């Protein structure tokens, strides 16, 4: 069994990624740490607790940072819904998180399992950065860090012309992580819009898979509209689920070891990743950037894991 610790700003795509990990026979999800991002922290915590319960699991959910390290919180409720789960009336209240603060849980879990934890941040990196500032030693003790974030080498932004949402929310946290020495693998939004667009045909297939397949589509109610009107994709895309697929099975991915930094400051460059292809800025090679993840492999895994 591989031990996953998943850091999430639980909204409609995070929830699908959580189900994938919880349902995978070889993955032991040791915990979910929650960060503010798509929705305010308390809502993300309730969404995570609901999703764990829906999967019939008892995995602990821990509360984390309610805002970026040095900025006000910007949410994506226009993309995922006010409640983050498509505003379809799910009972997303009244559940109780585990004792413990997310950054401390990240530290304690990695220290207690040296070389065995795959950390999978699928939201802003605030919790991870705080953990690193408190305990820099965890960088060499974690086995893998698979991040949904950034725009790969040349992808478009989804919150500004060049920035992806997770990295835009807390760019200072991204820089802490980039300079930490952690074994980083980035799955950017470029990979999601190329290989994880849930077309109508795929949605129909998911609906034949039973409760989790229907859940995975029902909660995309807001994202559906955003896709049609804003990104003009052929359906909602699944960035966190395809990042989770890479965490579960990195074999089919095409990656490149690159020097990566991030633009801090204000618009229009806030949160834009800087990929030093030719070494002009002498950025040390610190990230394995996923350039491609096969679409068929992703959807085959998604169907297998969400099926009854
Ligand atoms: O840019 C996509 C990312 O932002 C995903 O993690 C999605 O859940 C949102 O957090
Ligand atoms: Ca997310």
pLDDT in tens, 227-270: 888 888 999 999 999 999 999 999 999 999 999 999 998 899 99
Residue 168 binned pLDDT confidence (cut-offs 50, 70, 90): very high
- Clarify whether 26 is annotated catalytic: no
304: pLDDT strictly greater than 80: yes
93: pLDDT strictly greater than 80: yes
Residue 209 binned pLDDT confidence (cut-offs 50, 70, 90): very high
24: pLDDT strictly greater than 90: yes
Q: If you average pLDDT over every residue of the chain, what do you get? A: 97
Q: Six-digit token pair at 51?
A: 């999703």
Tell me if 198 sits within 8 A of 221, measured CB to CB. Answer: no
In degrees, rounded to 5, the angle at the alpha carbon of residue 117 between the alpha carbons of residues 31 and 244 is 70
Atom of ligand 1 nearest to the CA of 122: 6
Q: What is the CATH number of the domain that holds 135?
A: 3.90.245.10
Confidence at residue 162, expressed as pLDDT on a 0 to 100 scale: 95
Instruction: Report every protein residue that has its C-beta within 5 angstroms of ion ligand 2.
Output: 9, 14, 122-123, 240
Compute the average pLDDT of residues 81-104.
Answer: 98
Would you say residue 122 lies in a domain? yes
3: pLDDT strictly greater than 80: yes
User: How close is the Cα of 239 to the center of ligand 1, in Å?
Assistant: 6
Pick from 206, 28, 45: nearest CA to 109? 28
User: How close is the Cα of 136 to the center of ligand 2, in Å?
Assistant: 24
Compute the average pLDDT of residues 66-91.
Answer: 97
Pick from 84, 80, 12, 1: nearest CA to 43? 84
Confidence at residue 227, expressed as pLDDT on a 0 to 100 scale: 84
Protein residue with least CA distance to atom 10, ligand 1? 123
What residues are in contact with ligand 1 under a 6 Å CB criterion? 9, 11, 13-14, 37-38, 76, 122-123, 148, 158, 164-166, 189, 239-240
Confidence at residue 230, expressed as pLDDT on a 0 to 100 scale: 85
The DSSP code for 115 is: T
Tally the domains of the chain.
1
Would you say residue 82 lies in a domain? yes
User: How close is the Cα of 276 to the center of ligand 1, in Å?
Assistant: 24
Would you say residue 202 lies in a domain? no
308: pLDDT strictly greater than 80: no
Q: Is the pTM of this model over 0.95?
A: yes
Would you say residue 45 lies in a domain? yes
Confidence at residue 229, expressed as pLDDT on a 0 to 100 scale: 83
User: How close is the Cα of 185 to the center of ligand 2, in Å?
Assistant: 16
Atom of ligand 1 nearest to the CA of 159: 1
Would you say residue 156 lies in a domain? yes
Out of 7, 9, 83, 237, which one is annotated catalytic? 9
CA dist 162 and 271 (Å) reads: 8
Would you say residue 182 lies in a domain? yes
Confidence at residue 226, expressed as pLDDT on a 0 to 100 scale: 85
Q: Residues near 36 by Cβ (< 8 Å), separated by ≥ 6?
A: 9, 44, 64, 65, 66, 67, 68, 73, 75, 124, 126
Confidence at residue 231, expressed as pLDDT on a 0 to 100 scale: 83
Q: Which of 12, 16, 35, 37 to mutate to test the pocket of ligand 1 (most atoms within 8 A of CB)?
A: 37
Would you say residue 203 lies in a domain? no
User: How close is the Cα of 278 to the center of ligand 2, in Å?
Assistant: 31
Would you say residue 206 lies in a domain? no
Which domain does 52 fall in, by range? 2-197+239-293
Return the bridge partners of 27, or none: 2
pLDDT tens digit sequence for 106-146: 999 999 999 999 999 999 999 999 999 999 999 999 999 99
């Amino acid at each position: 069994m591989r031990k996953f610790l998943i850091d999430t700003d639980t909204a409609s795509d995070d929830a699908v990624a959580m189900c994938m990990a919880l349902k995978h026979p070889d993955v032991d999800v040791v915990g979910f740490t929650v960060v503010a991002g798509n929705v305010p922290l308390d809502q993300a915590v309730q969404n995570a607790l609901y999703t764990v319960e829906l999967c019939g699991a008892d995995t602990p959910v821990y509360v984390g940072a309610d805002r970026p390290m040095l900025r006000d919180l910007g949410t994506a409720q226009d993309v995922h819904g006010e409640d983050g789960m498509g505003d379809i009336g799910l009972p997303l209240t009244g559940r109780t998180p585990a004792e413990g603060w997310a950054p401390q849980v990240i530290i304690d879990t990695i220290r207690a399992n040296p070389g065995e934890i795959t950390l999978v941040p699928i939201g802003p990196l605030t919790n991870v950065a705080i953990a690193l500032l408190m305990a820099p030693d965890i960088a060499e003790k974690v086995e893998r860090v698979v991040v949904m974030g950034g725009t790969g080498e040349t992808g478009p932004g989804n919150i500004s012309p060049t920035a992806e949402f997770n990295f835009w929310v807390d760019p200072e946290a991204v820089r802490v992580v980039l300079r930490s020495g952690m074994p980083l693998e980035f799955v950017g939004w470029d990979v999601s819009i190329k290989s994880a667009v849930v077309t109508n045909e795929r949605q129909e297939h998911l609906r034949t898979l039973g409760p989790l397949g229907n859940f995975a589509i029902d909660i995309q109610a807001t994202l559906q509209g955003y896709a049609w009107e804003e990104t003009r994709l052929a359906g909602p895309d699944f960035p966190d689920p395809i990042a989770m697929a890479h965490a579960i099975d990195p074999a089919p991915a095409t990656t490149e070891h690159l020097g990566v930094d991030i633009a801090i400051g204000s618009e229009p460059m806030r949160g834009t990743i800087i990929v030093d292809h030719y070494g002009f800025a002498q950025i040390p090679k610190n990230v394995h950037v996923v350039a491609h993840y096969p679409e068929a492999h992703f959807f085959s895994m998604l169907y297998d894991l969400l099926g009854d």
